[in-house]
């Protein structure tokens, strides 16, 4: 979910919405899912969200 220029994500431990950061401001959790969500990019061809550095699963 995006709001303005910040991407809001859910912490896997406390389930609170946190601003785009490398840790949860409520519980301090560091998690690979948080990193993956922050590093996601949009495919230049189809616009789908893909992990940084990987090929697009929709259009290749």
H helix intervals, 2-44: 32-39
pLDDT computed for residue 1 by the predictor: 47
Of residues 28 and 6, more confidently modeled: 28
23-50: per-residue pLDDT in tens?
777 777 765 555 555 567 778 888 877 7
**Predicted local confidence at residue 53, as pLDDT:** 66
Q: CA–CA separation, 10 vs 60, rounded Å?
A: 28
> Domain ranges in the chain?
2-50
| CA atoms within 13 A of residue 39's CA, in its CB half-sphere | 11
% the chain with pLDDT above 70: 37
Supply the pTM of this predicted model: 0.34
Cross-strand pairs, 10: 17
């Amino acid at each position: 979910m995006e709001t303005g220029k910040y991407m809001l994500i859910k912490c896997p431990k406390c389930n609170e919405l946190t601003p785009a950061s490398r840790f949860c401001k409520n519980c301090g959790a560091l998690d690979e899912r948080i990193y993956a969500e922050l590093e996601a990019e949009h495919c230049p061809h189809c616009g789908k969200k893909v992990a940084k550095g990987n090929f697009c699963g929709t259009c290749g």
